[in-house]
Each structure stands twice: as C-alpha cells, then as structure tokens.
Amino acid sequence: MRVLVTGASGYVGSHAVKSLLASGHRPRLLVRDPGRTGRVLAAIGVDAGDAEMCHGDMLDEEAVDRALDGCDAVIHAAAALGVTGRRTDLVTVNVTGTRNVVGGAVARGLDPVIHTSTIAVFVPPAGPMITSDAPLARPRTGYGRSKLEAERYARSLQDDGAPVTIVYPGGVLGPSQPHLDAMPAGLAAGLGIAWPVSPGGVSLLDVRDLGDALARCVEPGRGGRRLILGGHYVRWPEFADLCDALTGVRCRRIPLPGGLMIALGTLLDAAKKVHGFRYPLTRDAAELMVTLVPSDDTVALDALGLTLRPLEESVADTLRWLVAAGHLRPARAGRLGPVSKSPSAARREAEQGAGPDPALDRRRGAAPPGRRAGGQRGLETGPGSHKEFVMPVRALQGVLTPVAQRLASAPWFARIGPKVVPPLDRVLHRLSGGRVLLPAIVLPSIVLTTTGRKTGLPRETPLICLPEEDGSFVVVGSNFGRDHHPAWTVNLLADPRAEVRYQGRRIPVTAQALEGAERAEVWPRLVRIWSVYDTYVERADQRELRVFRLTPS
C-alpha cells in the first residue's frame, strides 16, 4: 500500500518509515526539508531514495491534498512539542495539522487513517489501569491541551464511522534521536545529575517497537480502533535500579514528594514562557511522573501480533546512544560506555577471569564489544566531545532569576512566601541529603544554623547570600518585606556564633551586623544579585532590613 507519513524527520515518524519499508509498503513522506529528512533516515539505516518525498507543510491544505493523491492510507506522526511556544502556535500545528491530514484522508476514503496520540491524554488516570475506554484528562499546558483537542477531533471522526486508528504510546525511548526528546533527556539528567525518586512510575516503549506497531496498523477493513501501547511500566526506584544494573554505576537518588515535583515543574513552565529554554521537566511531565499507572496493552499487542523487546535492551541501547551523541558522560554509563582499558588491566581481567559475561550482557540487552544491539556499529567519540545533558548552573540561574524576582516582588507573595518557602526548602534539603536547596537554583545560597534566643535549640534557615572573596557571606533579613524582623536575625544579635552549610561544607561563622558606611558599601552589590531587596525596603518602611556579615571563625 502507498502510505502517506507525516513527521518522517522526527523520532517516531522515521522509525515508522523504516518499518513500512520492511513490511513491503511504499511510504510517501510529506516533508518541509527533504535534505534533513534524508539525514534522519540515513542515521537509522534507511536509504531516502526508497521513499517518495513530497515537499510541503501539513498546515498547507493544498500541499496536504497533493500529498494524499494516490495514497491508500495515512500515518500521522507529526506534532509540535513543548511548553515554550505560544498556545496559538501549538494549536495551529497539533490541531490544524491533524484536521488537514487526518480529516483530509477520511474525506478521500483512505483506509486506515492512523493518528498517533499519547497515553498522557489519560493522565491523571481515573483508575488503577489505563484502558482505551478510560476518560480523557484535562492537561494544563498549551501542548497538552492542543493534543487533547486533536484527540477529540480524531474521536469525532471515529464516531461518524471513519476507519481512524488512534495509537496511544507511552514514553518513547531508544537510540538515534534526531532531537533529544523528553524521555531520553530525562534519563540523561537522572544519571548525570540525580534521579528523582517520586511516587508513581513510567511506561517505556522502544521507538523501534512503536514504528513496527504503526506499520502493522496499516490494514484496511478494520474500522475505527483505539490501541493503548504504553509499554513496560516500572516504578521510579525500579527504573533507577535497572540503570544501576546495566551500567554498574549507582546513580544518585533524591526522594521528592509528588507535590514538590509538580511545583517544580510548574515553576519551570513559567520560566520557559519567559525565556524559551528547553528542559525535560514540565508540570504535565511531573504530573505524569507521580500519577501514572500501568496500561492494559493486551488488545493492541494481540491485534497487531506484536511482542515488545525486553526493557533492558531498550534502556541499554538508549544509554549507549546518549554517550555516543555526547549527551551523557561515559563515566555515568559505566560498562555501557566506550571505556578503554590499559594493557595491564586487560591482562589482570584475563588472568582472574573477571571479564564480562556475554550471556549476562545479552540478557541485559548489552551489545557485543564494538557493536550496538540491532547490529549498529558503536560511534567513536573523541576527547571533549561529550556534552552531558546538564543545563549549566549559570544558564539556569539566568533563566530562573527574573521569574523568581517577579514572583518574590508580588505583594501577595509577602503573605504566602514566609509560610511556604522556608518549610518547603527545609524538607527538600533534608530529603536530598543536603544536595538540593531551592534558592540555590536561582542564586548562591546557604543554610544558616543559629541558636534560638529563647529555646537554646539550633534553628536552620535557608538564605540567599553574597559570597565575598575573603570567604565571608553577606545575608539580608528581608522577611519578604514584612513589617517585622525574621527570627534568625534576632538569634544572631543575641548570639553571633553560628554555622553555615555552603556547597557541601559546614563552616563555623561569627555574625556581625553591618551599619552605616559598611552597610552602604555592600548594599548595591546585594541589589545586583537580588534586585527585589529594594522592593522589600519600600514595603518594610517601618524598619531597616538587617544586614549581616558571616565570617568564618
């Protein structure tokens, strides 16, 4: 059959093209950039000459009509991703594109018309298992809402009797991504930085299995179908354990309550709207992480005669590709990375019989030395070529600082912030073993431990600080601009001896209240790092904000 494919230059669409060719179909590709599409296909072993290129945009109704001429079926796999774009842009691509391609195919009588949706349209789930008749959710981001609108349109065509097949994949992973999508990006961040251990879990589907599934859907006469294909469901601690077993390197874990994960995703969404950067965590993604339940894939697997490859193989191949593409440091991939051994180490392994067990590697999905699973040759990378997926601290601060300043300067935040931020920060700091501090995401920060003036007990307070060249720290008792001084400043005036935790170190300090010329000298530098201090001065017009220098004892 001649099958029109959209999104052929993307991750899912390119693998659908490969599977269509392997099944004997004749794919026609609606593409905006034939050269780029050819490069993407070549990366997965497909000769672009084996598929027919049709230049055009799915938003152009006439171009779609030309591409549909002479076709028997359609696989619609194109979509705009992310939360950084305006809602109107996302609706234009995800909804208008679906109307042009899927609606145009139905109007011409093509059979089948395959629409690639997402399991996320069911999240948060209504029950312990996601099935095709589960109610649709209400996503909050522009991307999620646009996908839901496209989903409802496709279902309306089914209700009218059109032979539309809707496929709901889970989190897609595997090798050779044209762009670093959310799932592999999150995997790289989890191994490269720290693994957030939250409630819930994740459904993982190999892109090669999804490509095969879409190709197998090309079967006329089946009518409208809804096929859930979430893949392998694992809880987050189990996923971390699997990565440890595959790499031989234990990833750092940070227990995070579900509410905190969602709050962090919400903050990042706001930052992306201001600055337009990419980062794998969004509010929708966080909600998916903490609420997702297993899916019932039985109907889809039986209908398509499909067997999913082992999860170990998919994760191992993904990690190898992340290293080869420079998104993950080889050290974090352990035995899956391209590690070269000294001759003496190799001799010791041979003498002690400590070499890798090929049978075990095969069970875990590891490829033989020098080759990837699936027959692809491992890519060689030179020194300095690895760009681990970690947003540089300064870049992240540059993005989030204006957002945080806008939030902190709002009058309503002066009422809510003191009740929410310090307790939340203390919980996060404790759960992460001292590795995560909310202010540190935005600015240099410390945890100050003072002695309670009345109780004599230690009191911890997370604070933004100005680190000085002499090793001291300057802090401000802003209290969000409220009309009374924060308790930690009262404690320091009563007992200037304190302790600072900064960048993993515990530092005994002595506090000195700055006044007069000393305070005037340091204030402009404080405002440069946190301009909201001037707003707090205006708000707290009945008191002068206390400023302290904390000098190592």
What pLDDT, on the 0 to 100 scale, is given for residue 445? Answer: 84
Q: What size, in residues, is the chain? A: 553
Question: To the nearest whole number, what is the mean pLDDT of the chain?
Answer: 81
DSSP-derived secondary structure letter, 96: I
430 or 543: which leads in pLDDT: 543
* pLDDT at residue 415 in the model: 54
With vertex at residue 17, the alpha carbon angle to CA 1 and CA 323, rounded to the nearest 5 degrees, is: 165
At 439 the pLDDT is: 53
- Distances 332 to 65, 73, 274, 311, 388 between C-alpha atoms, Å: 48, 44, 32, 19, 10
Residues 88-131 pLDDT 10s: 456 667 889 999 999 999 999 999 999 999 998 898 888 999 99
CA atoms within 13 A on the CB side of 330: 14
CA-atom Rg of the chain in angstroms: 27
pLDDT tens-digit profile of 31-85? Answer: 999 999 999 999 999 999 999 999 999 999 999 999 999 999 999 998 755 444 4
What percent of the chain has pLDDT above 90?
53
Structural domains in the chain, sorted by start: 2-321 (3.40.50.720), 393-552 (2.30.110.10)
Rounded mean pLDDT, 271-292: 70
Predicted confidence (pLDDT) at residue 268 exceeds the cutoff of 90: no
Summarize the confidence of residues 310-337 as an average pLDDT. Answer: 93
pTM of the full predicted structure?
0.66
Lowest mean pLDDT among 199-208, 302-311, 403-412, 464-473: 403-412
The answer to whether 264 touches 286, Cβ cutoff 8 Å, is yes
Q: Closest Cα to residue 432, out of 259, 254, 264?
A: 254
Residue 352's pLDDT band (boundaries 50, 70, 90)?
A: very low
Candidate from 163-172, 182-191, 343-352, 430-439 with smallest mean pLDDT: 343-352
pLDDT score, position 452: 95
Query: Which pLDDT score is estimated for 142?
Result: 64
Other Cβ atoms less than 10 A from the Cβ of 36: the count is 13
The pLDDT assigned to 161 comes to 97
Structure tokens at 37: 């599409």
* CB of 455 closer than 8 Å to CB of 491: no
How distant, in Å, are the alpha carbons of 412, 520, 521, 547 from that of 516? 31, 6, 9, 11
Which residues does 149 contact at the CB level (< 8 Å), separation at least 6?
91, 94, 95
Least confident of 242-251, 365-374, 490-499: 365-374
Q: What is the pLDDT of residue 244?
A: 95
pLDDT at residue 263, rounded to an integer: 79
> b vs e for 401-433, b when ≥16 Cβ sit within 10 Å of the residue's Cβ?
bebbbeebbeeebbeebeeebbebbbebbebbe
**pLDDT at position 377:** 29
pLDDT at position 98: 94
> Which helix (H) or strand (E) segment is 30 a member of?
strand 26-31
> In terms of Cα–Cα distance, which of 201, 171, 191, 169 is closest to 322?
191
How, if at all, do strands 497-502 and 445-451 pair? antiparallel
For the cut 60, the answer to whether the pLDDT of residue 429 exceeds it is: no
Mean pLDDT for the stretch of residues 267-274: 64
pLDDT higher at 130 or 410 = 130
Asked if 279 and 272 count as a contact pair (C-beta separation under 8 A), the reply is yes
> What whole-number distance in Å separates Cα of residue 439 and Cα of residue 319?
32
Tens digits of residue pLDDT in 140-198: 666 667 888 999 999 999 999 999 999 999 999 999 988 887 788 888 888 887 788 88
Please give the span between the terminal C-alpha atoms of the chain, in angstroms, as a whole number: 79
362 confidence band (pLDDT: 50, 70, 90): very low
* Structure confidence at residue 360 as a pLDDT band (50, 70, 90): very low
Amino acid at 21: L
The angle at the Cα of 359, spanning 354 to 361, to the nearest 5 degrees, equals 75
